[in-house]
C-alpha cells in the first residue's frame, strides 16, 4: 500500500535540516570554527549589542554554552563584551573589525550551500518551496500541540 504524500514530511524535513547543519559544520571547520560560532557572528552582524542571554534564547541553547562560545570568539578577537551603560550587571556583545573577513567568507559559504540546496530547481519551484516552508513555519509557530489520546501510563 502506498503512503499518502506528506506522511513522512516531518522525517524528511528533519533529514534535510540535519544534512544542512552537517554541510555547514564541514564548511565552518575549514575556517577552524564551529557552526555555532558562525551563528553567533551572523546574529551579531544583524543585531549588535545582544546580551548572552538573548543570544542563548535565539540559538536555543543554555547561557553557559553561549558564554563558552563567546569566550572562544573573544580570544580570536572577533567580538567583544561591553558593559551596558544602563545596567552594570549586563554585558553586551559586539563584533570587532577582525570579524569582517570571517563574515564575508561565511556569506560565500552560505551562497555555496544555497546553490547546492536549489540545484536542479527552477526559480518558480524555489519560490513555491519558500512559500510552502513559510506556511509550515507559520502553522507551527506559537501553537501548542495537543495529544490525540492520553499517553500510556508508565509501567
Please check the confidence at residue 98 and state whether its pLDDT lies above 80.
yes
**Whose grid coordinates read 549588535?**
48
CA-angle at 23, arms to 28 and 78, nearest 5°? 20
Complete domains list, the chain, with CATH: 21-140 (1.10.10.10)
Place of cell 548572552: 52
Q: What is the pLDDT of residues 3-59, one digit of tens each?
A: 666 668 889 999 999 999 999 888 888 888 898 999 999 999 999 999 999 999 998
Kindly give the interhelix angle for 9-29 and 99-118, rounded to the nearest 10 degrees: 140
C-alpha cell of residue 46: 544583524
Q: Is the pTM here over 0.95, yes or no?
A: no
Q: Which three cell numbers stand for residue 26?
A: 564541514
Can you give the pLDDT at residue 9? 87
Cell of 111: 551562497
DSSP 56: H
Strand order across the beta sheet in which 79-84 lies: 50-51, 87-95, 79-84
Amino acid at each position: 500500500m502506498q503512503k499518502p504524500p506528506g506522511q513522512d514530511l516531518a522525517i524528511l524535513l528533519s533529514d534535510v535540516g540535519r544534512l544542512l547543519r552537517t554541510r555547514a559544520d564541514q564548511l565552518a571547520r575549514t575556517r577552524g570554527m564551529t557552526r555555532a560560532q558562525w551563528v553567533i557572528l551572523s546574529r551579531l552582524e544583524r543585531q549588535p549589542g545582544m546580551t548572552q542571554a538573548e543570544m542563548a534564547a535565539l540559538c536555543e541553547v543554555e547561557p553557559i554554552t553561549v558564554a563558552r562560545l563567546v569566550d572562544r570568539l573573544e580570544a580570536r578577537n572577533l567580538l567583544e563584551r561591553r558593559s551596558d551603560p544602563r545596567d552594570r550587571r549586563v554585558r553586551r556583545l559586539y563584533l570587532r573589525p577582525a570579524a569582517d573577513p570571517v563574515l564575508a567568507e561565511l556569506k560565500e559559504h552560505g551562497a555555496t550551500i544555497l546553490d547546492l540546496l536549489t540545484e536542479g530547481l527552477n526559480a518558480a519551484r524555489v519560490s513555491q518551496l519558500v512559500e510552502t516552508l513559510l506556511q509550515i513555519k507559520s502553522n507551527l509557530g506559537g501553537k501548542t500541540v495537543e495529544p490525540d489520546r492520553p499517553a500510556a501510563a508508565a509501567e
